[in-house]
């Protein structure tokens, strides 16, 4: 079972619909007690970094997410669900993130006619080869993005993919069974569904820890 974390905001509908389209068993998780028995967690996210962290904390989900990742259980972060894994964001000064990765979230500098937020399809360049979540997805595939802020990962070892938008920035990170992306796989048609299927396949082979 894949648990889709509902912390009061996020693109739950589109992520849930994508999982159901792929016939992936999933459930919406609204409280810490509901993660029991899940093989994997998806943290979707839309909106502001600070609001996201406020809702995560108000739902007592911060330690659940941190413990889940520390135990190296399958985890997929999407959009702001990637950004909150870092120390903090320029979007919400003084609001700490989950601190899974070192580094900060910055606003795009813009310029050269670029409109912020970035909305639409963009090319993704894989920086790691052979990762199960990327299997069968060609390098240079286009995914759908909607965001004004990007992550600056302090350790290049965790960078799984980059994208160009005025600058070259990290659009995916991975560590063990964690994979998190800035783009929206649930809105990225064939390649996005392939990524979700790959994540679910990897999760299916994981041990359930209650």
Which H helix or E strand runs over 152? strand 149-153
Give the list of residues 6+ apart from residue 189 with CB closer than 8 angstroms, or none: none
Token pair 């965790």 is found at: 158
Structure tokens at 201: 């396949």
- Whether residue 72 contacts residue 115, with contact meaning beta carbons closer than 8 Å, is answered with no
Distance (Å, rounded) from C-alpha 136 to C-alpha 101? 27
Catalytic residue ranges: 79, 184, 186
Distance of CA 117 to the CA centre of its chain: 18
Structure tokens at 193: 């569904």
Phi and psi (nearest 5°) for 47?
90, -165
């Amino acid at each position: 079972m894949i648990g889709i974390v509902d912390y009061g905001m996020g693109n739950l509908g589109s992520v849930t619909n994508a999982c159901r389209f792929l016939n992936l068993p999933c459930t919406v998780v609204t409280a810490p007690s509901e993660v029991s028995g899940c093989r994997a967690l998806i943290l979707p996210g839309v909106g502001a970094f600070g609001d996201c962290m406020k809702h995560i904390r108000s739902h007592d989900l911060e330690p659940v997410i941190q413990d889940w990742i520390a135990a190296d259980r399958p985890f997929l972060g999407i959009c702001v669900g990637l950004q909150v894994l870092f120390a903090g964001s320029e979007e919400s000064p003084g609001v700490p993130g989950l601190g899974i990765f070192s580094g900060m979230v910055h606003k795009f500098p813009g310029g050269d006619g670029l409109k912020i937020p970035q909305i639409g399809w963009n090319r993704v360049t894989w920086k790691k080869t052979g990762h199960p979540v990327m299997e069968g997805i060609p390098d240079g595939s286009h995914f759908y993005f909607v965001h004004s802020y990007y992550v600056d990962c302090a350790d290049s070892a965790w960078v799984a993919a980059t994208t160009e938008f005025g600058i070259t920035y990290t659009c995916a990170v991975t560590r063990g069974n964690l994979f998190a992306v800035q783009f929206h796989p649930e809105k990225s048609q064939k390649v996005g569904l392939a990524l979700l299927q790959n994540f679910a396949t990897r999760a299916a082979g994981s041990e359930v820890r209650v």
